[in-house]
Structure 1
Amino acid sequence: MLAKGLAMGVDNRQIQTAVLAGPDSDDPVVCPTDADELDEFREEFAGTTFWCGILLGGCGGQLLTRRGNVRVSHFAHFPDPDGLLPECGRRSRGVASADHLYVRAATQTWLRRQGHTPRYRYIDRDDAPVGSLVEIELDGRKLLLHMDPATPPDWDAAQAGDIILGPGVQVDYRTLVRRGYVNRVKFVSEGNQRVMMLGTELPHVGTDWDFELADCTVDEHGRLITPVVTRMEAARAAAERAPVPRPRSEKPEAPVQIGTLTRLINSAVQKKDTTTVRELRDTAQLQVPRCEGQALDHLQRAIDHANGLLDEQDCVRRRLFAGLDEAVRHGHVYKVSTLTQQVRRFIQRDTVTTPQEEGILQAADTLLRHTRRREARNRQAAEERLTAVTREWEERRAAAVEEGERRRAAEAQEPQAQLVTQAQERKARNRARGRVQSLTGRLRREELSAQQQKHLVEELVLAAKEARDHLSEAEQRKVNEWAERIAAPTEEPGTAQKTSPAAQPHPDAITEPAKLPDRLVPTVAAVRGALKKAARERTTTSWNRLENQLGSALPSLTSNERVQVLVQVDRPTASDEPLLSSLLAAGDPHFAYQYYRHVLTALGLDAPDDDEDLRDVVEADVKQVFTDWRFR
């Protein structure tokens, strides 16, 4: 059936992520941006549907893959039956917009191997839209992943569990120091998937991402343990086990192994663990009076080695604190900020500080705190001024726009109504023209009784009156011929025939091409299969594209052989269905004018003489092909 339809919508939204199987799915996928990779992607997911997922913040509509020639390849929405695109707020959404859905795929097997039974929940509330928070429940414990920088974490919330931050989520300095560390998560692309990476942020150090998911565990308390956390806890335990220096007046309660003490001092010096070196050095000095000979020499060299490191570190320490003190006194905020971080990193290795050093650090913190407050006040004042100016400008602009729209609406009200009426009339005439083409085809192809012919011709005449000037001269001539034929006197009963007038020779008929050679029978099957695939994917094609797609299955053909092949491709097509060959005609207008008319004529279908009329027919057929083959 040939029918004139509405123009199909074009989806300009650049959507890179979708979910598989249904709108409520949490199984994400990324569309390749490269055109060649998109072909492999389509083969990999053949038979799978893509959706604008609810958990992605989408509209729940079905998506198709769109190959990019100028822009990158991407997902796009299916238009509705009227050719209109659905309302959807997802525009230019990158691959990171689905990261919260990759959490389950990345962690489920990993957690189960550790004996946990994870349950996932994507929190959706007014202050945390879907995708901001992912909650993983582990046998009464919880891991809470903050994926959106716009949703700050609540560190003091009851039963918050272990909180893990996305790479853009901020944590204030005091919270970071109080907790000692904060674990983070990010995703990197590998093909059409996203791979999870974990990291740990330390005060004054930053985030260490140098490990993967397999390097980490979740302990029995529901805490995420990364290699950085493991090293921190080991260092804390070692510091608690370190020997406590004794006053010179005391004697050790038990004998000290001099060789062991010497090795501990040398090892701590090599690691530059200043606190441990200082404690071991003090312990060694208490053992000097009871040593002699070679043991005393070894012990003294270890003490000298320790003193050398401590003197070197004390020199660096004095230089840092002196520079920080000078920067504070001169009010050099940037230098104070830089040196404060260096000093705090340094004293992590040697926590013993003097009252003078404590005073310098407090003065630096006070200066930085006052500076941040002053800058915050200045920023707030500037933002308030900018907001006031912007609001005033927007109010003036809105008032001007409203006044202009009011004036234009008043001026264009009558022409608008005329345009709407004209558009409705055009649509009605196009639909009537489609009925004329359909009825003419049935009258020519089908064997009908005289009564059936008369009924169809009456419908044909009414449709032609409604279509009016939208009919071509050839179409109007055919309508007149059928009307005159039915109005002519009825033949004698003995001579009446029940065959359709289509059985009689027609001056415009094109004879059917010669019988298809046997060597082209496989070619017909290959071309029909390719056109079916294009129809299911809702895409048009061209003969060159078929040659690239089918390779040796589509040999080089003459013009007449191409027509023969396409006639055989569409011969099984039902009389009330459009031809699959219309996908070729839509994808290559030159092909439509050169071959498609011959295919239509050979199959007993009407082929408009005017090129513009033929293009309208092809567009209507393509839309109907997409509809018919959508779920086949």
Structure 2
Amino acid sequence: MLAKGLSLGVDNRQIQTAVLAAPESDDPVVCPTDADELDAFREEFAGTTFWCGILLGGCGGQLLTRRGNVRVSHFAHFPDPEGLLPECGRRSRGVASADHLYVRAATQAWLRRQGHTPRYRYIDRDDVPVGSLVEIELDGRTLLLHMKPTTPPDWDAAQAGDIILGPGVQVDYRTLVRRGYVNRIKFVSEGNQRVMMLGTELPMMGTDWDFELADCTVDEHGRLITPVVTRLKAARAVAERASMPRPRSEKPEAPVQIGTLIRLINNAVQKEETTTVRELRDTAQLQVPRCEGQALEHLQHAIDDANDLLAEQDRVRRRLFASLDEAVRNGHVYKVTTLTPQVRELIQGDPVTTPQEAGILKTADTLLQETRQQAALKRQAADERRAAAAREWEERRAAEAQEQQAQRVTQVQERKARNGARGQVQSITGRLRRETLSAQQQKHLVEELVLAAKEAGDHLSEAEQHKVNEWVERITALEEPDTAEKTSPAAQPLRDAITDPVRLPDRLVPAVAAVRGALKKAARARTATNWNRLEQQLGSALPTLTSNERVQVLVQVDRSTASDEPLLSSLLAAGDPHFTYQHYRHVLTALGLDAPDNDEDLRDVVEADAEQVFTDWRFR
């Protein structure tokens, strides 16, 4: 049934992505395009099924891997036994069509290390094609990833804690200026994997992709914080502090001065601006002796709130620096990578650091820099090893190809030489059989026959070798005294001589149909044959025939063959050279066709006709 399906409907779609194990799976995989890499891929996923995933926008049908010879290797749908391919609406079949599924593989462990519990949802609605939107729920907050430009972002959506855009999703300039920045996401291919990269787009500056996933965090509000966002927030904090109003040294009325100070303290505490809170707290403490009554009560309450915030910030600060110091001393690079951005974000609101804190930060930065340099050296070494391995493989493949080409040339030359020698054997035996020669001439021809037979080697059929041996024995017998009176080999009667075909006897009519059927079957199977094989296949349907009867049967087999088509009997000539030179010429002559006089030319014609028969009967 498989062959029928393939013949009725061939799947020409080139699909590079699939999912593993089930149609509903969100575990994507990319098919290698290189034919050699596909072999390793099949070995790696032996026993695993591939599917045209629902989350890829596919039909849910099972896929197979197809090795590319002219085109690249790819996934393809299993052929339908009835010849109908499955209805599939996938429009994007490249490696990027599964990027929304790689989001989970790239971010799940990263988010969990930050204390989040992510849950993933792939939006699939009539107005939102599957793969366009990915929601990541983080403890009540939501990261909304717009993967495709077909679905524009809703910047005022209340449920989205942060919106991240794919590389092709546009944002209008006013929105970008109003928000200050927009984070972006893209995937790049590394081997058969897709690797996530994060970036931040700023007005008039474009997108900065120059950082890794480990350099980024997601804060408690569900916002993605990249190094660019961290620097932008620090710059904003400095600008706000510079523009913040300060209590004037001289006030015409004390109640107005105290009220303004209290409002400033409460505003700074609410925004958690540590430096400003500390300065205003100190100013407020100087004003305590001047206050009394309700004003003093409100001022003291504001001072207490400021002290609570500063105490909490100091505890967090000490804990973070202590953890960072311990991670640096123990060489825990990943922990240092995670803590350093948190420490820098904390000190943006209170930039004054102690010498000890500055030393810890400097040591952490040095460790991270050395780690990145070592990682870069390792990547460079790995790239060099891969490049060297690729060059070695290419050189080895080129050498093997050159060696194989030389072997093929040698084999072709040897085969041509052996075929030429075989033709010489057949020509000499024909002369010995047909011509009246003297004993000396016969001896000279038999000597040439022996040399030609030796050169032909195993290219001679058993019948041809038997004839060579027979002529050698005859010449040997002629040279012996007691056989001098025997009849010359040239005078021996020829056995089973071929005569012109006459009307086919009735007993051979069934044999014509049987032989025609066997030759058609061999043509569809793209195999040559010989008369012994036909007798084994057909059994009693093909009685023992003389050479003349075989020629008559084959003439009737090809009597209905069109004039512009090769003969089915060419498959017998291709499978048995003895038949070619002794009988096939008679078949051609009886059908009114020309046959080359030269045996080698006739052999070339037979081989060409056999190949054409294979082509013509492939789909009959």
TM over 0.5: no
TM class by shorter-chain length?
0.3 to 0.5
Higher CA-based Rg? 2
Q: Structure 2-normalised TM-score? A: 0.41
Q: Structure 1-normalised TM-score? A: 0.40
